[in-house]
Structure 1
């Protein structure tokens, strides 16, 4: 199958810390909840409360609208591209996840079975499968070829986000815990307690570190090779603006980025533990999500008042 072919992915050797805004625009009709770059680095997707996903080409320091992916009955909560950059999975408030190929604006599949909103949808390492997390306290694994749920894991609490590798699924929860699951046995292998509701998770490109953001206004990095090793990142002024504020690693794993309720982006240096920079003034409302291009060149931030900002380190 075409989608099963091995796809080489470029490695970012050194991400640039953004210093200035190149382009500011009202990208949606309502607030924007999610943003993600494809592996090609020049294609961006944003998902909003207006039920649409918009595709953007990054050219000459600007975002150029390339089209819209329709089909959701309610707002979009998360977006992810597959490794090929040709397929998109998104989670929705309408209790479903939707799957598109970029050559068609209509969804190829709609995955239904959750009883409450779907908060996260991620491709597994095998491109045949997708993992979803939901407010209904379950994580589901789906076979895209059969368009069917092949496993449901009861995860004990409202699931705000998921990340996954081949046989491990990590879920973040409102009961202030991160849980690790062996997807082959549907069993919980570890719990990591935090001090606040988990709003998002991210995994580094080399799959060695896990990032969480939580409502105690902190980010934490867990070394997955030594699970007892955790580093906490805070900054004066940083505050999660909602229960789904998304924080990310830079593509080289050297930095962490998150948007704040004060409309600024905060970027920390992973090695030093210190705040590297704060980027204010471009957002007048709380930033919901940020994305860092795989080349390390661009950062995009999106907010609850429909604004998107393209940043660069040049």
Structure 2
């Protein structure tokens, strides 16, 4: 039977028959189509696409190749081999090492220990064993049933003295060899520790540089913040002025208002002249400009991680000997004065001069910086207070020639590129305290109380709120009264019998705290005063020369003198706790929680570490002049020299 297309009729099977024959749901037509696809794909993959070689011919040729014994052995060996063995079969050990070292980064190759040990690993293991276990083990001693020791083994008794000496010699040689191995191991450990220390130092330097960059970013951010604050305040002032001007324009003044204004102005002028004529009260004049803070809000800590004695900065601050200096905080604001009759304000972070403080008629002998306030005592017998927050830092290169003052003293010889104009400090003066009749040689203020000492042999207590003197202490009279009283009550409190040194300052140093005042004078006495009664509470006798510096805390009082000694007093008992001396007179001294820093006529500052009792020097030993003044806070040391140089160090 023929089909419609003329082809012979085939026997058609049902779907159940095909499934029973193939065991799947696929029909013969599907299998034939899949076979054609496989044949076409294999032809393109194995043979040439242009060739007409059939897939079966290619597979039969491949099977003939696989029947060869050599091919079968190779395939079997590759199946059993690991990837490491496959690599080693193709590459030699030397080539593998070379390739491994070639692809390692240099920082990993820098600390590879050299394999130059003369001892083997087994010898190193023997050396780690306790003595007696690393060598030949001794034969165990026999014991009887009762636990008593018997003689050594019979073979040990049978040995001749020569054999015993040889065995002993062998044991000593072995012990000596183990000692050499142990020495080599210790040396290797030391080298390894040195390498680790070197790596840690390198990492420390990297982190320290990172810390320095962060602090510089802090400074720049604070400067940007300051500029924004200044612009904001200027804008507020302009708005206030515009509002005031608009109000004035809206209501023009009458003749009566003008007469009243003139009368009020005359009254204010008379009042101002009356107040300025008083030497006991100098009130601060009102400032039209707002207070523009220039102080840093962040606290630098980078200097705390430097090695003690490291130099931070050195500047030529003045042309003559430094007479006084002080700073508020590390990398903060520093003020220096010298015999060249100038007072300069410095930015310690940038090492630049912010400005010059003008007003004194002579050199400043003493000063103190506390937060934003500055007090200066001069040879013109006056004390001036300044507000450093009102300084406007304007570098000299930003000032035109027309803005220069003709009367401004030349200061081009100061080796500094950005010395500012004096106008940057024109808003800093607050008021002047005038009561002393001779030069002011020492001062100290805390809170609203300031105490000053002068060559007129008096101490004066000032109220900084009202700007007037509230108490005058005559040192000679009070000392005479205290001496007579103490001689009648206690024989140990007696006068020294020495006359004051005329070449030294009569009041060399002082410090106040609440109602307590400590004062050192030219007769070598240290007197403790009670400001409430104005009397000497206690006198400390010990120095044989004028006292030039002192400082106290809750327990101890430290004093320095021209007798070359520094004495540490116990304030609870009034006795000497400790004392030491230098080769030259002590001209300046200050201490913090750990160290006492002094200037003792040398080119370096003298440091005494109170924790471990160690003395050492900090500074430039090759400097041309000696150190005259020192100040230290939190390990941050500033020292002023005779040639006007100021050095900044860590200690």
Could you tell me the TM-score, scaled by structure 2's length? 0.42
State yes or no: 1:199 paired with 2:487.
Answer: no
| Structure holding more helix per residue | 2
Residue segments in structure 2 that go unaligned for 5+ positions in a row: 1-298, 392-424, 477-499, 501-505
Q: Is the 8 A contact 1:48 1:75 kept in 2?
A: yes
Find the aligned partners of 1:153 and 1:272 in 2 and give their Cα distance.
Answer: 40
State how many pairs are aligned.
285
Q: Is the 8 A contact 1:164 1:170 kept in 2?
A: yes
Report deviation, 1:118: 0.5
User: Pairwise CA RMSD of aligned residues?
Assistant: 2.3
Q: Which residue of 2 aligns with 1:247?
A: 589
Report deviation, 1:279: 3.5
Report the CA distance shift for 1:19/1:165 in structure 2 as closer, same or farther (over 3 A).
same
- Aligned residue runs from structure 1 range 8-157, under 5 A: 18-39=308-329, 42-59=332-349, 63-82=351-370, 85-102=371-388, 103=390, 105=425, 106-124=428-446, 127-156=447-476
Report deviation, 1:49: 1.6
Report the CA distance shift for 1:179/1:41 in structure 2 as closer, same or farther (over 3 A).
farther
Q: Is the 8 A contact 1:283 1:307 kept in 2?
A: no
Report deviation, 1:16: 7.8
Report deviation, 1:87: 0.6
Any idea what the Cα deviations from partners look like across 1:46-71, whole Å, max 9, x if unmatched? 12222232122222xx6222222221
Report deviation, 1:40: 6.5
State yes or no: 1:167 paired with 2:515.
Answer: yes
Q: Is the 8 A contact 1:264 1:287 kept in 2?
A: yes
Report deviation, 1:223: 2.2
Higher relative contact order (CA 8 A, sep 6+): 1
SS at match of 1:108: strand
State yes or no: 1:234 paired with 2:581.
Answer: yes
Q: Which residue of 1 aligns with 2:146?
A: none
Report deviation, 1:282: 5.2
Q: Which residue of 1 aligns with 2:40?
A: none
Report deviation, 1:186: 0.5
Q: Is the 8 A contact 1:287 1:302 kept in 2?
A: yes
Report the CA distance shift for 1:226/1:283 in structure 2 as closer, same or farther (over 3 A).
farther
Q: Which residue of 2 aligns with 1:275?
A: 615
State yes or no: 1:260 paired with 2:600.
Answer: yes
Report deviation, 1:29: 2.6
Q: Is the 8 A contact 1:291 1:301 kept in 2?
A: yes
Q: Which residue of 1 aligns with 2:489?
A: none
Residue segments in structure 1 that go unaligned for 5+ positions in a row: 1-9
Find the aligned partners of 1:181 and 1:273 in 2 and give their Cα distance.
Answer: 31
Any idea what the Cα deviations from partners look like across 1:114-158, whole Å, max 9, x if unmatched? 12111112113xx22211011111110011222211100111272
Structure whose CA Rg is larger: 2
Find the aligned partners of 2:567 and 2:556 in 1 and give their Cα distance.
Answer: 10
